[in-house]
A and B are shown apart, each in its own frame.
Chain A
Amino acid sequence: MAKTQVRTLFRKGVWEENPVFRQILGICSALAVTNLMTNTLIMGLGLIFVTAMSSATVSALRKITPERIRMMVQVLIIASYVMMVDIFLKAYLPDISEALGPYVGLIITNCIIMGRCEGFARNNPVWPAFLDGIASGVGYALVLLIIATVRELLGFGTLFGKPLMPSTWVPWTIMIMAPAGFFMLAVFIWIAYTLEHKKTQGKP
């Protein structure tokens, strides 16, 4: 696969067609796990793995999967990979597994994965589908990490659990709660669109 193609896939996944702030997909988890960086990072990595593997598998089976049951097949594939991530976390990272609780399981209902399977993987070969999955996952993880940085820093005064704010800092409790997730996501989308708008306006 040509280098430019890879670059296009990643540019689309991370910016042009970013699942979270362009397609507004997967925002339920964006709101749920973004109050701590550690949780967000693991959730992001989990999603990258599941999206990439599901896309690759769906793509590998695309020629023999009957059209009418393809959704069922996709859900089966996604759920299997999510359970694998869950087992892996429980076995090797028990503390993080405990902290994430039900959120890992919630990856199954993440629309990004289904969206990539439906929108890309079922019409493309395995390798591009795999990369597309990674790109979308990275796009999701980056947005979540940016939101989590603000929420954890203002809400707890820490980053990855390490205190960063001066001792006189009074944590903004609202930042930890779900409403702040909506608020931050909206602010993020606003900033991203403004930047994009400026860029297109500058062109003749």
Chain B
Amino acid sequence: MKGRLFSTLYMFLLSLVFTAAVSGLNLLHQDRIKLNEDRKMQALVLHVLNIHLEPQATDQEVSTTFSRRIRLASLGDRPLYVGLDKDASTVIGYAFPVSGPGFWGAIEAMVAVDPKVERILGIAFYRHSETPGLGGRITEDWFQKQFQGRPLQVPSTGLRFFYLKTPGTASGPTELDAITGATETSKRLEKFLDDELKQTIPLLLEQKKMQRV
């Protein structure tokens, strides 16, 4: 009985010490971690909206450009980044995050559309668990660039925004080259992008009509 009491107390105390150590370390670095994440998101938003920075831009420059050229709004339950031109007066585009299931895990992407919501300005897949070298290639430039300039009219029922086709066979504005060997990633990407765009594009148009953004 005495042994058990000691074991319990010992475990309790040890947990307390180690939890305190980890929490303390976390608390000390919380701001830095948050800052890293913010900077990454800021650079990403600027990138998809085609607001180019010098390649050697410091974190500080990214932040300043972001706060000058981006206005924050919301689109349903997700953030909406409104991109402004150099004088910060005219809207040059809207960016919003989309996400959905990939083959191995969730894929997260940032989509930017033009001010009239007629075309895609840019897209960047920034978080995923796809196989490196296969599905993981969705982050490569050539793949992401294909989306630029694609039309955004909501397709009629039964049709999709985009179709990922065997490389070389894609034709027309709704077809894109898929990644060879990454059939499952392509299939899921095609589906979730479609679902997300069908949900967000009408919402964005509505908000624009009501002049909320």
Identify the A interface with B (CB < 8 A).
Answer: 35-36, 61, 64-66, 68-69, 72-73, 76-77, 80, 83-84, 87-88, 90-92, 94, 98, 101-102, 155-156, 171, 173, 176-177
Would A84 and B33 count as touching, CB distance under 8 A? no
Decide if B25 is an interface residue (CB 8 Å cutoff).
yes
Binary A-proximity of B7-45 (CB < 8 A = 1, otherwise 0): 100110011001101100110010011001100100000
A87 touches B36 (CB 8 A): no
Please list 12 pairs of residues, one from A and one from B, whose beta carbons are closer than 8 Å in the complex, sorted by A's number. A35-B132, A61-B14, A65-B10, A66-B7, A68-B7, A84-B25, A87-B33, A88-B25, A91-B33, A92-B32, A155-B133, A156-B133
Min CB–CB distance A173 → chain B (angstroms): 6
Contact B10 A171 (CB under 8 A): no
Interface residues on B, range: 20 to 34
Residue of B nearest to A93 (CB): B36
Q: How far is the CA of A61 from the CA of B33 in the complex (A)?
A: 32
- Given the interface pairs A87-B25, A94-B40, the reply to whether A69 lies near B33 with Cβ below 8 Å is no
B173 at the interface (CB under 8 A from A): no
Q: Is B3 an interface residue (CB 8 A)?
A: yes
Query: Does the CB pair B36–A35 fall under 8 Å?
Result: no
The answer to whether B25 touches A176, judged by C-beta atoms less than 8 angstroms apart, is no
Is B67 an interface position by the 8 A CB rule?
Answer: no
Query: Which residue of chain B lies nearest to A61 when distances are taken between CB atoms in the complex?
Result: B14
CB <8 Å contact, B133 and A83:
no
Please measure, in the bound complex, the distance between the C-alpha atom of A102 and the C-alpha atom of B32, giving whole angstroms. 20
- State whether B22 touches A177 (Cβ < 8 A): no
